[in-house]
A = this chain, B = another copy of it.
Amino acid sequence: MTTPNQWRHPLMPFIDLPDVQSSQSTTRFKLTRVGVTGVKRLIPIQRPNKDHLTYLNVTMDLFVDLPATQKGSHMSRNLELIARLVDTHIQTPVPDLETFCATTADLLLTKHEYATYSEVKAEAEYYYDVRYPSGEHGSEPCRLIAEARMRRGGEIHKLIGVRVLGMTACPCAMEVVRSLDERTKNCPAPTHNQRNIGTLMIEIPSATSPVDADDLITIVEDSFSSPTYSLLKRRQEAELVLHAHDQPKFVEDVVRDMLKKVLEKYQKLPDDVLVIASSESEESIHKHNAYAERITTLGELRK
């Protein structure tokens, strides 16, 4: 453990220190976001449906706005706030990352009395439960994305999202292969397949009933040509390949299938809920990627 106190400077009196941040700004422009980025913390999470505590290795950004009259934001307050919260949560873990973001966004407006807006972004590796094709239980990694935004006096908006790896098999090349080679007409035909990055994010007002990241992961995995697994024996590899070739998909299909499943799953959520779905395919036949995206609301999708 490092002990920095040995380097307390001998000349240091206990005086009133200048507060440069609070001085007047000479260039009077307000700022949209001022804060800290890349803050790393280990945050204990107790998922409502799990019996044991886990830890998320979180990377965070914290911002407030700044009025035109003030020179600087007191950025150390952001770190104090995070330190207190993490300490508190060691006793009473948070249920999920977006709740942590929402609590932080709320407290940022208390700490920065001059701010009218706060924003917190967080990302972490997350390990979700899977049953492997072998029947064994295990876990696979994905990326958890959470955000919270708040205007002073308004409601907090929380975003919860997941980024999951899966597989897509191209329907176009498969059909063209079939028309070029008669032998593949009535059987599983080869096509190019590849790793696909599926992302699904949902933003809800804080008062709305929560969205579970595990449900989003299921939606994304079910929208690929096939989910993928770290643990596959030979037969299971071949079965996964055949399964993926049974439902070939463009990136466009992956996004639309996510949207369809979101509509079915979240029938009770209000129209103004924001939905962002994307699919990026690391094309095996190209050096570049294919990409599709929809940014919309539940209301728009219901039309």
User: Which A residues form the contact surface with B (CB < 8 A)?
Assistant: 1-5, 7-9, 11-13, 15-21, 25, 27, 29-42, 54-55, 57, 61, 63, 66, 71-73, 75-76, 79-80, 82-83, 125, 127-133, 135-136, 138-141, 165, 167, 169-173, 175-184, 186-195, 214, 217-218, 221-222, 226-235, 237-246, 250-253, 255-257, 259-260, 280, 282-296, 301
Give the CA-CA distance A171 to B140 in the complex, in Å.
Answer: 25
Contact between chains at B31 and A255 (CB < 8 Å): yes
A32 nearest CB across to chain B (Å): 5
CB closest chain-B residue, reference A259: B29
Chain B positions within 8 Å of A190 at CB level: 169, 188-191, 241-242, 245
Contact between chains at A172 and B234 (CB < 8 Å): yes
Give the CA-CA distance A259 to B72 in the complex, in Å.
Answer: 16
Contact between chains at A17 and B194 (CB < 8 Å): no
Decide yes or no: A1 and B129 within 8 Å by CB, A31-B292, A256-B29, A292-B33 being known contacts: yes
Chain B positions within 8 Å of A241 at CB level: 173, 177, 190-192, 285
Chain B positions within 8 Å of A288 at CB level: 36-40, 79, 230
CB closest chain-B residue, reference A189: B190
Contact between chains at A17 and B235 (CB < 8 Å): yes
Work out how many copies of this chain go into the complex: 4
8 sample A-B contacts, Cβ–Cβ < 8 Å, listed by A number: A17-B179, A27-B259, A167-B284, A170-B237, A173-B238, A180-B235, A181-B242, A229-B285
Q: Given B31, B138, B301, which contacts A293 in the complex, CB threshold below 8 Å?
A: B31
Chain B positions within 8 Å of A129 at CB level: 1
Contact between chains at A287 and B9 (CB < 8 Å): no
Decide yes or no: A237 and B131 within 8 Å by CB, A32-B294, A73-B252, A291-B34 being known contacts: no
Contact between chains at A291 and B232 (CB < 8 Å): no
Chain B positions within 8 Å of A11 at CB level: 180-182
Contact between chains at B186 and A183 (CB < 8 Å): yes
Chain B positions within 8 Å of A194 at CB level: 193-195, 282, 284
